[in-house]
Amino acid sequence: MRLVKISNEFFDKCRENNVHKELMFNEDGRPSVLIVKLKYKEQYHKFVVPLRSNISPKTPKNQYFSLPPNPKTKPRHSHGIHYIKLFPIDDRYVQSYLISESFDILVKKIIDDNESGIIQSCQEYLKQCESGNKHFMTPDIDGIIDMLNTNKDTN
């Protein structure tokens, strides 16, 4: 796993293909966690899980992996890896995220130390999505996969 940014081109393509609802857009290069292989409907895909600064205090703990609060985190809210916001991605839309601040180094270490649990939680959530138990705030995984596959054929 690594911290990455997603290109604006990806978000533009999602808008063009009307599969942009519930995506966490690239506000100033929002960091995301890239997970190389997760199984969804019998196929392996790369997925990205955005980091969120203000996860509601009402959000069930099993929907995210908590990280130390960042400067944008509001009181009583959480900063973390929000599993229900994951979406598939292709390499061409993945950009490097510069890890230079001490806070980013800390976050990366916590993620690395908990990698297997994060991957397992994401995989479990994808299994729920397959069975029709998808959170209403989850991006259109099937639509994005279709868009990525269509764009593969035309590039």
Nearest to 58 by CA among 73, 78, 79: 78
Q: What is the model's pLDDT at position 109?
A: 96
Phi/psi class of residue 140: alpha, beta or left (left: φ > 0; alpha: ψ in -120 to 50)? beta
pLDDT (tens digit per residue) in 3-27: 999 999 999 999 999 999 888 776 6
Q: What is the model's pLDDT at position 10?
A: 93
How many domains is the chain built from? 1
Q: How far is CA 102 from the centre of its chain?
A: 22
pTM above the 0.85 mark?
A: yes
Nearest to 52 by CA among 69, 40, 38: 69
Q: Is the pLDDT of residue 67 over 90?
A: yes
Nearest to 3 by CA among 37, 29, 40: 29
* Alpha carbon distance 4, 139 (integer Å): 18
Residue 121: give the domain boundaries. Answer: 2-151
Position 154 confidence tier, pLDDT thresholds 50, 70, 90: low
Burial class (CB in 10 A: 0-12, 13-18, 19+), 2: middle
Contact 131, 14 (CB under 8 A): no
Q: What is the model's pLDDT at position 79?
A: 96
* Alpha carbon distance 126, 63 (integer Å): 12
Q: What is the model's pLDDT at position 34?
A: 87
pLDDT (tens digit per residue) in 122-153: 999 999 999 999 999 999 999 999 999 997 75
pLDDT (tens digit per residue) in 86-114: 999 999 999 988 888 899 999 999 999 99
CATH classification of the domain holding 72: 3.10.129.130
